[in-house]
Amino acid sequence: MNQVSTFIFDSYEFDALNARIYLRYAFDDGMEFEEVLTLPDTAFTNTDPELLNRALLGLHLIAGISYYKATCPKQIKILSGELTPDQATFWNKLYTQGLGEFFYKNDLDFRDLIHFPSTPNEFPFLIKTKNLKLKTLLPFGGGKDSYVSLKMLEEKGQEFTPFVLGEHPQILNFLEKIHQKPLLIKRHIDPKLFELNKAGALNGHIPISATIAFLTIVVAALYDFDEIVLSNEKSANQGNTTLHGIDINHQYSKSLEFEQDFSNYVRDFITPDIKYYSLLRPYTELEIAEKFSKYPEALSLFTSCNRNFRVNGPRPNTLWCSDCPKCAFVFLMLAPFVSRPKLIEIFGKDLLNDLALKSTYAELRGEQGIKPFECVGTPEEVKEAFALLSPHQS
């Protein structure tokens, strides 16, 4: 791979006829990338061109993070639009914080690295968009949190549409079994990126929830939704470690800090008519697990094991690998509320008595190392869950 000094946000295109979005990027060494998003249909109910362009620019900028991180050049060029200084500040923070785990694991000094270009031109006055219908979009990841949100909306009598990015068989099977039809978007990442990774390019965690956030705004603009309801809990606010003076949080794009920053960005630079918030923000992981345990129909359907959601490479044939920190954590959260035989049936073994996971539980309790880089709760919640177990359970 040639020396790359500039990452270029080249262009985006909305193909209404074929229901596709094209996102194009390049390195200054001549390598180009094209990502394609395929929408479910062309029944677009609201195609206000100004609203759509503002939403698409945001999607173009966040989806580029997957390609940017392959080389992390210091220069950034945006050909697809212009940013105000306030917008550039938002993107500098999102890329820096969102790639925190990536920087940490790759031992990269990110200080003074990311500088989105801006222009002093005034941002165009926000004209109120066509009144969006009172419709709710619910990103559904197939885990306990999004199912609890789904049930809470159902119990309130609030109509909603589940949203899914990518054709994940476990998620689609879950929704089919509970008689929910999702709004599904297919994502085709440029295969040249995987070739670069094989050749030794930088790789690692990205803030995928931020990508989904900007994509939901595009979906809301096209299909007439006025709110996006997330399932991010209180625990997502706590980071894993620190590096060069900033908090490194695997769940940064699920945190309240990001939620507020993003909501303000949407209000100020896209539209004030679309609301974005988490229904589960007041609750801990343990409280959500207790709520989830009251829905036995979902226990054999849900999964949040990240090995099932790899972008590239093989995925397991089971819902849970039962070897990773995420599986260990979810097993523990449910253990005070679900019978041990049922949990063993779900996970394939008793994770609390698996000696191979002893050090994992020590990390989850905060007794050694750092909190695992997974979507897991705080050490306090883990200790509370252990305390709730009866003597014969632990």
DSSP string covering 333-365: HHTTTS-HHHHHHHHSS-GGG-GGGHHHHHHHT
**Model confidence pLDDT, tens digit, residues 73-86:** 999 999 999 999 99
Query: CA-CA distance, 186 to 168, in Å (whole number)?
Result: 10
* Predicted local distance difference test score (pLDDT) of residue 216: 98
**Model confidence pLDDT, tens digit, residues 219-241:** 999 999 999 999 999 999 999 99
* Predicted local distance difference test score (pLDDT) of residue 45: 76
Q: Spell 331-365 as b/e; 16+ CB within 10 A means b.
A: bbbbbbbbebeebbebbebebbebeebeebbebbb
* Predicted local distance difference test score (pLDDT) of residue 341: 96
Query: CA-CA distance, 256 to 258, in Å (whole number)?
Result: 5
Residue with tokens 């212009």: 82
* Predicted local distance difference test score (pLDDT) of residue 147: 98
Query: CA-CA distance, 29 to 347, in Å (whole number)?
Result: 48
- 271 CB-near residues (< 8 Å, 6+ apart): 51, 54, 55, 126, 129, 221
Q: How confident is the model at residue 3 (pLDDT cuts 50, 70, 90)?
A: confident
**Is pLDDT of 124 > 70?**
no
**Model confidence pLDDT, tens digit, residues 374-385:** 999 999 999 999
Question: Which pTM does this prediction carry?
Answer: 0.94
Q: How confident is the model at residue 129 (pLDDT cuts 50, 70, 90)?
A: low
**DSSP at 164:** E
**Is pLDDT of 123 > 70?**
no
* Predicted local distance difference test score (pLDDT) of residue 218: 97
Query: CA-CA distance, 218 to 59, in Å (whole number)?
Result: 8
Check the CA dihedral 266-267-268-270 and report its sign: positive
**Model confidence pLDDT, tens digit, residues 27-72:** 999 899 999 999 998 888 767 888 999 999 999 999 999 999 999 9
- Proportion of the chain above pLDDT 70, given as a percent: 92
Lowest mean pLDDT of 75-89, 115-129, 130-144, 305-319, name the range: 305-319
Cα dihedral 312, 101, 146, 272, rounded to 10, equals: -110
* Predicted local distance difference test score (pLDDT) of residue 128: 57
Half-sphere exposure of 52 (CA within 13 A, CB side): 16
| CB-based contact 280:135 (threshold 8 Å) | no
| CB-based contact 107:115 (threshold 8 Å) | no
**Is pLDDT of 153 > 80?**
yes
Query: CA-CA distance, 170 to 364, in Å (whole number)?
Result: 26
* Predicted local distance difference test score (pLDDT) of residue 44: 85
**Model confidence pLDDT, tens digit, residues 166-215:** 999 999 999 999 999 999 999 999 999 999 999 999 999 999 999 999 99
Q: How confident is the model at residue 391 (pLDDT cuts 50, 70, 90)?
A: low
| CB-based contact 219:160 (threshold 8 Å) | no
Both tokens of 181, joined, read: 């039809």
- Through-space distance between the first and last CA atoms of the chain, rounded to whole angstroms: 52
Both tokens of 93, joined, read: 């923070």
**C-alpha separations of 268 from 98, 128, 135, 206, 259 in Å:** 21, 12, 21, 25, 14
* Predicted local distance difference test score (pLDDT) of residue 318: 82
The mean pLDDT of the chain is 92
**C-alpha separations of 70 from 4, 66, 67, 339 in Å:** 10, 7, 6, 45
Q: Is 30 exposed, middle or buried (0-12, 13-18, 19+ CB in 10 A)?
A: exposed
What's the average model confidence in pLDDT over 119-126?
Answer: 69
Check the CA dihedral 325-327-333-336 and report its sign: negative
Residue with tokens 């709710």: 136
**Model confidence pLDDT, tens digit, residues 255-304:** 999 999 999 999 999 999 999 999 999 999 999 999 999 999 999 999 99
**Is pLDDT of 132 > 70?**
no
* Predicted local distance difference test score (pLDDT) of residue 43: 83
* Predicted local distance difference test score (pLDDT) of residue 190: 97
* Predicted local distance difference test score (pLDDT) of residue 42: 83
Query: CA-CA distance, 340 to 334, in Å (whole number)?
Result: 9
Phi, psi of 2 (to 5 degrees): -70, 160
DSSP assignment string, 75-131: EEEESS----HHHHHHHHHHHHHHTHHHHHHTT---TTT-------SPPPP-PPPSP
